[in-house]
A and B are shown apart, each in its own frame.
Chain A
């Protein structure tokens, strides 16, 4: 641990360097692609940064860029804390990530197609069948399903972290209805409004063509013979925590935002209820989970879905993104096998590696886990959003004992990973910059081609020392700049 400079030295005063630091390669020495930003921040100074930071918050609050927090009272609207110091990725590094993501999503997509049809990968014993059938995202109703053009995971968000050695690793795949992309687009907008100065001479890859690409993708999956498809975004409603995003995407694409009760199934087709009677729907970008999509096929108590929707999909009368049952690919129990899945379908080595993962089902792994709970992170395979986790180094004896019991009772229900020191990034805290842990969720669109949104959502754990970046647990976000090739030369 080393201190960057004297504590009273403005914005960077007292900055503590810990590996891996995204901005600094050594004390007082910013990495080449951060030099310009480093200087511009210093020029701005703490007070101006503070003032503009407040403006950014106010602008987000007034635009209603909020999410709903469950658990207390009944749903409080909050803005996600926005950190004004952007995270930078240089062109060379990004192009490797881009290739790695494309490879991974391609393989996961083939995996889903295989699992619900030929099951070759299961017969060849590359992935244990019991893990697939036992996965919480596996849907037996999808057996035999053939998605139009063989694409299942149209939109995915793959969570990456950088370890102490500076390597990017995949922490988690999100193949169902990943959210956060609206923050990527909004963060950039607010950044331009409030901190135009910081952009300077940087050559930054734009992000705002995301919604154009998404719309093109959705039109591409329309049923055959449909020249001008009617596309809609399906939301659970205004009380959903990601409602802002649903509404934002519908607005940016210029399509209607519908709820389940606006749609009706009639003779194999889906219609929407309009002031001029029923009108046909051709493609649904659904932000409703599988279970709630159609009470005739999945949960009978769902009030959010459309009875008959799955029938219309099977009959090929409607395009659906993402397809059904895709949760089997992002299951935490399947995750350790993704490198093998890539090998199996593509015959390639994974470009992006997984985090080392132990499975209690394997006896030697189980012993290792139980002996090292203090240094491991244990995750329930069917939980997300930072819930149902044990973070070894921050846990109490009682918590460790509780998890040891759970693991022994239900070894299939958990995985364990070494506690990774996520990379840190200068973050504006109490009038100066301080290192905070971050991750990255890039978004991948799988249509006619696979496109990766340059950058993605950088999440930052704001409490000092915290490794949990989820917005439901006090995480914030940063604008993420992928720099063009020019600045590298």
Chain B
């Protein structure tokens, strides 16, 4: 496959995955905020704050923004073309990449990416955003998932598919790390600050984390236990079967990379594969207690830094021919 096409595919899915996660996060957080009633100040960061942390675009935000206004904040995160990390900007880039690779991803997937972009640019989207933000974000999230559905059900499992998978799951590891980081930092800060908040709030917060990752139902079926921090982290980081758990995503990355590189199983041909393999086995054998002993935040930082290195290695190996 052409290096340029491979690079386009890889980034297209990274952008879409990121956009999907931000949409999911905002949809859920806005909804949770309603539950928490007037106590949002007490129960941690606002949805906008969390999204800014996840997207690492707090600086741009401060620069381009005056006093806080909820709708303006959300518009900045959603429709602002000047903000490279807004949902619209990311979908626009993904769509541009899709346009440049139509002959690889096929007409169905291209049409879906195009449709999503045209919808975001339409006045219909604006109206929906203003009348019901939470359901607007759900629509965006679902459209992203539909795109992936097209990919899963129309493409042969060849190089094209595996570069797409690699982009999607590497981004998911990255975003999951950021979401956990943002939400857990919050929880820990309030715990130590106020000497433990009331159990009701505590449980709402961890449930919220699970819901921001579309993981609540799966968690309940798997853990059959009340929601407590240790089990939530175990589930979201170490579960081998849940598709948004870090371990699951790392395994998918490694598999796709293996398919792309070819060769036999015992040999590690490229650095990116070695990094992913090591991370995968660590996530497989580590105990959740140990994560907390080492400190959750440093542990998450470690995962982030491996993600970055894997991205750089992929760039070097495949795209700069």
Contacts and interface: CB of A to CB of B under 8 A. Distances in A.
Interface of A: 61-64, 238, 243, 247-248, 250-251, 256-259, 261-262, 272-275, 277-278
Contact of A238 (B100, B103, B260): B100
Given A238-B96, A247-B102, A278-B321, A62 B2 contact: no
Contacts of A247: 99-100, 102-103
Nearest to A271: B321
B103 A275 contact: no
16 contacts: A62-B111, A63-B111, A64-B99, A64-B110, A64-B111, A238-B100, A247-B99, A248-B102, A256-B2, A256-B5, A261-B4, A273-B321, A274-B1, A275-B2, A275-B163, A278-B321
Contact of A63 (B1, B100, B107, B321): B107
Given A62-B114, A62-B115, A274-B321, A256 B3 contact: no
Nearest to B95: A64
Nearest to A272: B2
Contacts of A62: 111, 114-115, 118
B2 A274 contact: yes
Instruction: Determine the main DSSP class of A at the interface with B.
Output: mixed
Interface string B252-271: 00000000100000000000
A251 B102 contact: yes
A251 B1 CA distance: 14
Q: Point out which of A247, A250, A256, A275 has the most chain B C-beta atoms below 10 A from its C-beta.
A: A275
A275 B260 contact: yes
Nearest to A233: B103
A444 to B, nearest CB: 25
Given A261-B4, A277-B321, A278-B321, 5 more contacts: A274-B2, A275-B1, A275-B3, A275-B260, A275-B318
A248 B110 CA distance: 12
Interface residues of B, number: 22
A274 B3 contact: yes
Instruction: Determine the main DSSP class of B at the interface with A.
Output: helix
Contacts of A277: 321
Nearest to B7: A275
Contacts of A272: 2
Contacts of A248: 102
A248 B102 CA distance: 8
Contacts of B6: 275
A55 B100 CA distance: 25
B159 interface: yes
B121 to A, nearest CB: 11
Interface string B107-119: 1001100110010
Contact of B4 (A64, A250, A262): A262
Contacts of B3: 262, 273-275
Q: Point out which of B5, B96, B103, B118 has the most chain A C-beta atoms below 10 A from its C-beta.
A: B103
A274 B3 CA distance: 5
